[in-house]
């Protein structure tokens, strides 16, 4: 879509797979484990009792395979067509019918929380919520879930909220936060500078996507340590959602394994300041191919990004 645009991202080792197949999930886990990753955080969808894209997680729980640690992240946002230019067109609306629904949701989650592979800290299952502030009376809901956890024999819950700027999780009953500063989200407005002025002109004339230089923005993707707030660093190896969003897409242009090394090393330094049993570091993402956001090998870079992860963790 513009000079030097890296597309398509074509998968290498794992090919074009089907996550409904146990063999595909096993291959992913083995590849991740071989490079030092210690778990997957699976997106989980719950729309007022309705689940979608649920089959892989169901089968992971049913089959007890792959034998690889995991936790869940409730992707609690409505689905719309914003990337296609129709933000008011709702595909699936997120709703919160009330406490009965929150109890039903917890009852489903309990099965995962009690799975021996589930990631815990101090015996407490780690549960991530994508947009915590969109939940009505969120603090009341959190307290309700903690009460249900105690009644179910759990040692508690370790609740993590995702934010796009600095956020105090304790104010809303959460234990920790993950700050994801992807360009174009809140917190970036004051310094939205595309790759080149020329690209701005091209974008207007020819409909190019919004472009940022990965080399320039990766130092800004991480949140600084804030006293009294437990924040888990989240790194972004690459991003390009133009395959599904076209000219409305967002591109982090020029990502390379060595630039990612610097980004990942900065995140490790932040994680080292966390308590020993909570040195969590999230990588967004393992396989968001439609967003050009993946660690899985592609034909251009092969295993290079994964090698960076293994080398930096080892050092």
Q: What is the pLDDT of residues 181-196, one digit of tens each?
A: 877 644 443 334 455 5
For residue 85, pLDDT over 90 is answered with: no
- Rounded Cα distance between 7 and 183, Å, is 20
- Rounded Cα distance between 211 and 194, Å, is 5
Within 10 Å of residue 100's Cβ, how many Cβ atoms?
A: 9
Kindly state the average pLDDT of the residues 279-307: 97
pLDDT tens for residues 258-289? 999 999 999 999 999 999 999 999 999 999 99
- Rounded Cα distance between 61 and 302, Å, is 31
Calculate helix-pair angle for 22-34, 55-63, nearest 10 degrees.
80
Q: Which domains does the chain have, with CATH numbers?
A: 22-314 (3.20.20.80)
Position of tokens 């307290």?
143
- Rounded Cα distance between 171 and 21, Å, is 42
Among 148-152, 157-161, 184-188, the range scoring the smallest mean pLDDT is: 184-188
CA dihedral 70, 76, 77, 83 (to 10 degrees): 10
Cα within 13 Å of Cα(166), Cβ side: 8
pLDDT tens for residues 201-257? 555 656 788 899 999 999 999 988 888 899 999 999 999 999 988 888 899 999 999
Q: What is the helix, strand, coil percentage profile of the chain, to 5?
A: 40, 20, 40
Token pair listed for 239: 């991003």
- Rounded Cα distance between 92 and 72, Å, is 20
Query: Which of 172-182 are b and which e, b meaning 16 or more Cβ less than 10 Å from the residue's Cβ?
Result: bbbbbbbbbbb
- Rounded Cα distance between 22 and 54, Å, is 14
Quick one: pLDDT at residue 196? 52
Among 31-35, 75-79, 87-91, 135-139, the range scoring the smallest mean pLDDT is: 87-91
């Amino acid at each position: 879509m513009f000079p030097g645009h890296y597309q398509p991202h074509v998968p290498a080792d794992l090919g074009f797979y089907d996550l409904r197949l146990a063999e595909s999930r096993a291959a992913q886990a083995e590849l991740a484990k071989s490079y030092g990753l210690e778990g997957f955080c699976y997106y989980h969808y719950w729309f007022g009792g309705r689940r979608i894209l649920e089959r892989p997680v169901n089968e992971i729980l049913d089959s007890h395979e792959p034998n690889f640690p995991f936790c869940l992240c409730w992707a609690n946002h409505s689905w719309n067509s914003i990337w296609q230019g129709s933000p008011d067109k709702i595909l699936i609306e997120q709703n919160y019918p009330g406490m009965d629904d929150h109890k039903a949701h917890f009852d489903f989650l309990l099965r995962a929380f009690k799975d021996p592979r589930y990631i815990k800290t101090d015996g407490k299952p780690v549960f991530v919520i994508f947009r915590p502030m969109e939940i009505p009376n969120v603090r009341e809901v959190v307290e309700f879930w903690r009460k249900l956890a105690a009644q179910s024999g759990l040692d508690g819950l370790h609740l993590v909220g995702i934010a796009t700027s600095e956020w105090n999780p304790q104010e809303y009953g959460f234990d920790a936060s993950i700050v994801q500063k992807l360009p174009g989200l809140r917190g970036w407005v004051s310094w939205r500078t595309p790759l080149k002025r020329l690209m701005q002109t091209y974008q207007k004339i020819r409909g190019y996507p919004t472009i940022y230089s990965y080399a320039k923005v990766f130092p800004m993707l991480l949140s600084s340590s804030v006293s009294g707030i437990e924040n888990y660093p989240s790194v972004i190896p690459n991003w390009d959602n133009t395959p599904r969003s076209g000219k409305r897409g967002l591109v982090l242009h020029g990502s390379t394994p060595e630039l990612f090394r610097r980004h990942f090393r900065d995140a490790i330094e932040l994680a080292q300041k966390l308590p020993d049993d909570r040195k969590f570091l999230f990588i967004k993402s393992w396989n968001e191919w439609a967003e050009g956001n993946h660690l899985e090998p592609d034909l251009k870079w092969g295993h290079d990004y994964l090698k960076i992860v293994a080398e930096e963790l080892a050092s």
